[in-house]
Amino acid sequence: MKTCLIVDDSRVIRKVARRILEDLRFQVEEAGDGLEALTACRKSMPDGILLDWNMPLMNGIEFLRALRKERGGDTPIVVFCTTENDVEHISEAIKAGANEYIMKPFDGDILQSKFVEAGLISYEAA
């Protein structure tokens, strides 16, 4: 079973994402900000990370840059999931090593489609 870490400061979003990802047969962990997420990754690198941008303590882009410098931090597939929806933010995310990008609001179809693009779910399984 693949693992996915949901990083979002909104408990509601984490709950919605968890339900969708568990339906897609992921084992889900949660973190409320970038620092918590980094601690979780140091313990165990997940296969995928669904990552919000604006969070307290450490935001999504800071977390991503820090993650990619960690030992084994190049392996998780990172999918941003944020209300930031302009080309500048998207480009910055890709430059920092994001694999895919979801603009909120999202639904199960979009999340699944993006996880397929990112290679976290095979197209046949989708």
Partner 1 sequence: MATAMADADFAFVAREVKARSGLVLTADKSYLLETRLAPIARKESLASVAELAAAARLRRDERLIWQMTDALTTNETHFFRDRKPFALLRDRIIPELQQARPAGRLRIWSAATSTGQEAFSLAMLLDDLRAGGRGVDAEIVATDLSERVLEKARAGLYTQFEVQRGLPVRTLIRHFEKVGEFWRIADRIRAMVRFQRFNLLDDLAPLGVFDVVVCRNVLSYFAPETRRQVLERIAAQMTDDGVLLLGATESTVGVSDAFVPEGGYYRRTLVREQTASAA
Give the 3-state secondary structure of residue 49. strand
Residue closer to partner 1 by CB (options 10, 91) is 91
Torsion of CA 65, 67, 70, 74, to 10 degrees: -100
Distance CA 87, CA 67 (A): 23
As beta bridge partners, residue 48 has: 4, 77
Residue closer to partner 1 by CB (options 56, 119) is 119
Residue 102 lies near partner 1 (rule: CB under 8 A): yes
State the nearest-atom distance from the C-beta of 8 to partner 1, in Å: 18
**Among 17, 101, 120, 121, which residue sits at the site for partner 1 (rule: CB under 8 A)?**
101
* Stretch binding partner 1 (CB under 8 A), from 9-17, 34-42, 53-61, 83-91: 83-91
Which of 45, 47, 63 minimizes the C-alpha distance to 7?
63
Distance CA 126, CA 73 (A): 26
* Stretch binding partner 1 (CB under 8 A), from 2-10, 39-47, 55-63, 86-94: 86-94
**Among 117, 120, 121, 122, which residue sits at the site for partner 1 (rule: CB under 8 A)?**
117
Residue for token pair 């897609």: 24
Helix (H), strand (E), coil (C) string for 22-40: HHCCEEEEEECCHHHHHHH
State the nearest-atom distance from the C-beta of 97 to partner 1, in Å: 13
State the nearest-atom distance from the C-beta of 119 to partner 1, in Å: 10
Residue 53 lies near partner 1 (rule: CB under 8 A): no
